[in-house]
Structures are given as structure tokens and as C-alpha cells.
Amino acid sequence: GLTGTSQPTTETEIPAPHAHAYYRYDEDGEHKTLDVTRHNPSWISSGGDMISTTRDLHTFITALAGGKLLPAGLLAEMCTPETKAGYGLGVFVQPVPGGGTVITHNGGIAGHAALMYSTPDAGTTLTAAL
């Protein structure tokens, strides 16, 4: 059901509608901003090489944490972080101030970022694009 998600290879176009990505830098004491929306994402391989909507991110993290994608045993294993890294099998499990945890896997590339968080029971989620 992820209708707004794709994985480009060497295409430089992003499906509409989309946000623009910008890179800010200084050159000879002057502040400059460059639109970096269009680029070939294959340089980063699978890291940052997915395009999605916040609606699809919500659909995915809710289904994953809610137990609709994996059997309970596999989901538990996925959400058991390696103690030194805080990383499970594809997700981070992070403590929340005041108690509890969230399941997350964020990502980004060249001026874009996506955030995806869920409580372990999928009762509360947060997705955002920057």
C-alpha cells in the first residue's frame, strides 16, 4: 500500500509533488544557496536512495510496529538493539526522556531528510520530511 514510494537508480527527476532540496555554502565571503533537488542518487547506493511521502512513512512504521508485517518473534528480534549501537535489525530503538522507547529509522540525502518514529505498540507515530 505504499503508493508514494519509489527507489530511483540513476534518474535525476523526483515524482511530483515534491519539496526542493537546498545546499548552503560560503564562497569568497558570500553566502550562496544551490538547489540540489535533481541529482543522480546512485552514488550513495541504498542509503538515502528511496523516495517516499510522509503518508507512506506513517503507513510503513505503523504496520511494522503494529505487527502487521512480521511475525511477533521476528519483530521482537528486529527491535532488540545491539547494546553498543542501539541498532536492531533495520531499526533504532531509542529511550524517551521520562521513560519508554521509540522505534525509528531516519534517513536523508543531499538536502532532504525523512523522520519516522513509532511507539512499540504503534499507538503513536511521528513522520516528517525536511
Q: From first to last of its 130 residues, what are the pLDDT tens digits of the chain?
A: 898 888 777 777 777 777 888 989 999 999 999 998 887 777 766 665 678 889 999 999 999 999 999 999 999 988 887 777 767 778 888 888 999 999 998 888 778 888 999 999 999 999 998 8
Place of cell 511477533: 72
Amino acid residing at 14: I
Distance of alpha carbon 100 from alpha carbon 111, whole angstroms? 31
Count the neighbouring beta carbons within 10 Å of the beta carbon of residue 125.
19
Stated pTM of the model: 0.81
Using CA atoms of 97, 111, 53, 63 in order, give the dihedral in degrees to the nearest 10.
-40
With 0-12 CB in 10 A as exposed, 13-18 as middle and 19+ as buried, what is 68?
exposed
With 0-12 CB in 10 A as exposed, 13-18 as middle and 19+ as buried, what is 94?
middle
